[in-house]
Structure 1
């Protein structure tokens, strides 16, 4: 099974099961970990932490908030190009 997300992509990390200190919120994919069997794994870094974590693909989802930030910056760039 191939990785759904790419290195550098901003995603939403879902809250962890009970008895874990993993925060939910925006995170960046640092590395796609190799696998033969079992869940697809990623190394991610949350915005609110300095350490990296290994999480399953099922714990990640596309972030609507991050899409909005990137779409806004893209539109500003296109406006600047069009004014030239």
Structure 2
């Protein structure tokens, strides 16, 4: 079964079952994990968190959220200096 989502795509992460601290909300696909059997897995990074999580495709859905230029590698300060 192929992966439905692509690296860099913004998605909505559903809240986790009980006994988990996984937040619901927007996340970015960091990598598509290989698999032979079982669920399709992704490594994702939620907004507001510094760690990445492995989640099943069933826990993800398309999102209307888009990445901004600030989320990549540039800070607000760098952009302001470059505009001078």
Please report the RMSD computed on the Cα atoms of aligned residues, expressed in angstroms: 1.5
Gaps of 5+ in 1: 71-84
Cα distance between partner residues in 2 of 1:48 and 1:14: 15
Moved over 4 A (4+): none
Query: Under a length normalisation based on structure 1, what TM-score does the superposition of the two structures give?
Result: 0.77
After superposition, the C-alpha distances for 1:11-58 in whole angstroms (9 at most, x for unaligned) are 000000000000000000000000000000000000110000000000
2:42 equivalent to 1:46: no
Distance 1:2 1:21 in 2: 28
List alignment gaps of at least 5 residues for structure 2. 69-84
Cα deviation per residue 1:50-72 (whole Å; 9 max; x = unaligned)?
000000000000013x16x78xx
**d(CA) in 1 for partners of 2:59, 2:48:** 17
Greater share of helix residues, 1 or 2? 1
TM-score by length of 2: 0.77
Q: Secondary structure at the match of 2:31?
A: strand
Q: How many residues of Structure 1 are paired with residues of Structure 2 in the alignment?
A: 68
